[in-house]
Amino acid sequence: MLSSSRDFKDDSYMSAKWLCVGLVLCAVVLVYRGDVYLRSAERLAVLRYAILLLGVAGVAWQWETRQPLAGRWFMLVATIGLLYLGVGWLGIAGLWLLVTLPVVLAMGMLGVGAAGFSALLSSLLVGWFWWTGGVGAHSADWIGLALVSLWSTFGIVYYLHRRSDETLRWSLRYSQQARHQIEENRQASAGLKEIQEDLLVANRTLALLNERLAAMRLVAEEAEKTKAAFVAKISHEFRTPLNMIIGLIDSLSNAPEAYGQRLPAALLNDLEIVRRNGEHLTSMINDVLALSQAEAGQMVLHREWVDLREDMEKSITVVRPLLDKKQLALQMVVPEDLPLVYCDRTRIRQVILNLVSNAARFTDAGGITVQAEAKGSDLIISVADTGPGIVPEDVERIFEPFQQSTGGVWRDRGGSGLGLSVSKQFIELHSGRIWLESAVGVGSTFSFRLPISPPLTVSPSPERHIGEDWVFRERSQWSKTPHLPHLPRIILWDESGFVHTLLKQYSGVVDFVDLNSLGQVVAELERCPAHAVICNGTSPNQVGPLLAQARTLIPDTPLLGCYLPPPIDRALAAGAIDFLTKPITQTDLQEALQMVGRGVRRVLIVDDDPDICLLYSRMLRQCDKNLVVETAANGSEGLEKVRQSLPDLVLLDLVMPDMDGWQLLALKNRDETIQAIPVIIISAEDLVTQSIRSDALLLSTGQGISINQLLHSALWFSRLVFEPARELDPGFG
């Protein structure tokens, strides 16, 4: 790459070797012409001149090869000398025509400086020849013409040199810029290729991560299902022994004479302790279920306007015996104008009870302060105690499941470690926050913040109702009516009444209207419109005709048809007359006997748990001493005893190893000899809380559904069906 115009010009100068070749040709021509046209005396001079030309050419060639610059200067000076030597020695006046040749050669070989030097030297030589008269009178005219030609040639050459030099500099500058730009483009291209390769690698990595994320999502969903199944199984396994414990305690407490002697007071106190621990286990099971539902987003809040002062007083009443026993002071600081709060009363009451009971349980001296105050749009409730306090490293994890403080005082007070975690979930479901302030040896303060009113929905701007002549008048007094949320309105048309019971848990986010007949639905829609009407058929085949009948009377409201059978229908369809959920009490069994409607003298209990069989036998005999109670340890044995003894009533468990309760009922219904024997199912499986699904969903609108709406509905329903269950959005509608 050239660094300057000088370097470029040095490489573009003409070599002196070409001039050497020219001198050799001139020598040859002179020798040839001398032999032909000149006299013998003149031939010798021409021959010597030719030899001189050849000698100069040979020396210049050698010098050019070794030192190009010196060889060129030698050739330039030698050319000038030979030119004027030929004029003066040989007397050839025509050589004056070549006087400009050194200037041109100097420009071609060495540049403008050498051309000026050549013009000046030639001018001096011309003047010297004219001054000395060495050219003769016949050449005087040629001298003037030579000087004019000499400097005219120099001027033209100089002008052309300047133009060519400017062009050369411009070309060199833009050539360097072009080369620089090409280099930058090459580097940029290489960088773009590297970026492209990096993007390809990143794309492959993202694709791999996406595949792994999809796999992990499936694993997470499967884990969520496994967790739900585990919680349901654990609840079933826990309820069975709890049913045994609570049932035996009720039996001992209600009929102690059944054991033939009066029970001592110490034993009754111990039984009360057992009862209390059984209730604690029940509460723990409920906490685990509530925590599982909250984490899975399946818990629905039943919001209403609540006076939390009453719930605070009731919570204090529950723990009052423990406070009196420990001689702890209690202070309740609640203003008279405490506002109503839009929340789920049951959940918030449980939070307050958890905090107050924890404070009473871990405080040995001093007292507890329960305080409530309104700050802006929120209500803050705090429970402060003078207990041992919580170490700083435990403050962050105290709200995690099964976590307690590491202090020795906390470990000695029992507890499952679920209360605060469940409370945190309940508060966050209300869009609130719960926190802890504690100092070791001073005490702890648990506080939570709740929004007083639900979030306001976005409403249209009132500007379209304002005219130019409208005058603003500020209200002197604002309404004290609490803000009610705007809830979507859905009418339930269900003759069985079961759907409303099933959906009432969503009443905090949807306004349901429960009606039993089509006429009531039409009248209610005329009174107040609704977003949709849900029609629950009595059978899967009835849903279509039901919607067709309703569409003729309801032309402008979307109709949704489904079939949600009541949970008890499965038990009734299987041949049972009732379904009882464990744990059950003696009163439940007494009502079951009365429901049979005829004299019951023989009862068969089919359950794989012998303790449960013993417990139910005692309860039944306490209901009626004349009852004959038999037991069966599994489904096969139970079916055989039903056929042999023909009992008046069968109490049947569902979960058994060899043959479950559903299979026993199916076999019983096929046998005409025992088909009429009444059966009551008793199981820890709560059919009401089981997943109830509709096999089909029909949609009908008065104006029909367009192709665009059909495609959007298909895509929306496909996503909805395969997405995990989540909490209903309160902002819907």
> Residues 588-630: pLDDT tens digits?
888 888 888 777 888 999 988 888 888 888 888 888 888 889 9
Using 50, 70 and 90 to split pLDDT, how confident is the model at 733?
very low
Largest CA-CA distance found in the chain, in angstroms, rounded:
177
Average pLDDT over residues 61-84: 76
pLDDT for 286 equals 63
**Distance separating alpha carbons of residues 58 and 44, to the nearest angstrom:** 21
| End-to-end CA separation in angstroms for the chain | 74
Tokens standing for residue 187: 């580097």
The answer to whether residue 575 sits within a structural domain is no
Tokens standing for residue 15: 């070599």
Round the average pLDDT of the chain to a whole number and report it: 75
Based on the fold, state whether residues 427 and 327 are members of the same structural domain: yes
The answer to whether residue 205 sits within a structural domain is yes
428-436 LR contacts (CB < 8 Å, sep 24+):
429/294, 429/299, 429/301, 429/344, 429/347, 429/727, 430/301, 430/343, 430/344, 430/347, 430/348, 431/455, 432/378, 434/351, 434/399, 436/390, 436/395, 436/398, 436/399
Read off the pTM: 0.43
Range of the domain at 381: 303-451
**Cβ distance 668 to 642 under 8 Å?**
yes
Based on the fold, state whether residues 134 and 47 are members of the same structural domain: yes
Average pLDDT over residues 634-662: 87
Can you give the CATH number for the domain in which 657 is found?
A: 3.40.50.2300
pLDDT > 60? residue 732: no
- Tens of pLDDT, residues 245-273: 777 777 777 666 666 667 777 777 777 77
**Higher confidence at residue 292 or residue 666?**
666
Based on the fold, state whether residues 415 and 311 are members of the same structural domain: yes
**Cβ distance 683 to 690 under 8 Å?**
no
pLDDT for 448 equals 93
Least confident of 31-45, 295-309, 640-654: 31-45
DSSP string computed for 252-287: HHH-GGGGTSPPPHHHHHHHHHHHHHHHHHHHHHHH
- Tens of pLDDT, residues 163-211: 777 777 888 888 888 888 898 888 888 888 888 888 888 888 888 888 8
Q: Which residues of 170-203 are buried (b: 16+ CB within 10 A; e: fewer)?
A: eebeeeeeeeeeeeeeeeeeeeeeeeeeeeeeee
**Distance separating alpha carbons of residues 368 and 386, to the nearest angstrom:** 7
Average pLDDT over residues 342-355: 85
**Cβ-based neighbour number of residue 629 at 10 Å:** 19
Using 50, 70 and 90 to split pLDDT, how confident is the model at 459?
very low
**Helices marked H in 327-466:** 345-362, 392-395, 408-411, 419-429
pLDDT for 1 equals 41
Least confident of 246-255, 410-419, 451-460: 410-419
pLDDT > 50? residue 424: yes
**Distance separating alpha carbons of residues 542 and 636, to the nearest angstrom:** 38
**Distance separating alpha carbons of residues 438 and 392, to the nearest angstrom:** 8
Based on the fold, state whether residues 233 and 260 are members of the same structural domain: no
Can you give the CATH number for the domain in which 709 is found?
A: 3.40.50
pLDDT for 4 equals 47
Using 50, 70 and 90 to split pLDDT, how confident is the model at 411?
very low
pLDDT for 460 equals 45
Least confident of 367-376, 396-405, 424-433, 692-701: 396-405
pLDDT for 287 equals 60
Q: Which amino acid is at 551?
A: R
**Cβ distance 526 to 503 under 8 Å?**
no
Based on the fold, state whether residues 664 and 717 are members of the same structural domain: no
Which run of H or E residues covers position 503?
Answer: helix 498-503
**Higher confidence at residue 361 or residue 569?**
361
Based on the fold, state whether residues 67 and 202 are members of the same structural domain: yes
**Distance separating alpha carbons of residues 267 and 361, to the nearest angstrom:** 25
Average pLDDT over residues 119-134: 71
- Tens of pLDDT, residues 652-708: 888 887 888 888 888 988 888 888 899 988 876 655 445 566 767 778 777 777 787
Tokens standing for residue 669: 């219904």
**Residue 598 φ/ψ, nearest 5 degrees:** -150, 170
Based on the fold, state whether residues 69 and 170 are members of the same structural domain: yes
Mention every residue, 6+ apart, whose C-beta is less than 8 A from residue 8.
Answer: 2, 168, 172
The answer to whether residue 540 sits within a structural domain is yes
pLDDT > 70? residue 288: no
- 543-553 helix and 518-527 helix, angle to the nearest 10 degrees: 40
The answer to whether residue 513 sits within a structural domain is yes
Based on the fold, state whether residues 163 and 72 are members of the same structural domain: yes
Based on the fold, state whether residues 648 and 703 are members of the same structural domain: no
The answer to whether residue 250 sits within a structural domain is no
Based on the fold, state whether residues 429 and 506 are members of the same structural domain: no
**Distance separating alpha carbons of residues 666 and 330, to the nearest angstrom:** 60
Average pLDDT over residues 67-74: 77
For residue 540, say if its preceding peptide bond is cis, omega within 30 degrees of 0. no
**Distance separating alpha carbons of residues 625 and 672, to the nearest angstrom:** 31
pLDDT for 730 equals 47
Based on the fold, state whether residues 671 and 699 are members of the same structural domain: no
Number of domains in the chain: 5
Burial label, 107 (beta-carbon count in 10 A; 0-12, 13-18, 19+): buried
Can you give the CATH number for the domain in which 440 is found?
A: 3.30.565.10
**Distance separating alpha carbons of residues 12 and 116, to the nearest angstrom:** 19
The answer to whether residue 574 sits within a structural domain is no
**Cβ distance 568 to 692 under 8 Å?**
no
The answer to whether residue 414 sits within a structural domain is yes
User: Residue 539, CB half-sphere, CA atoms under 13 Å: how many?
Assistant: 4
- 308-326 helix and 345-362 helix, angle to the nearest 10 degrees: 20
Q: Which amino acid is at 441?
A: G
Based on the fold, state whether residues 327 and 209 are members of the same structural domain: no
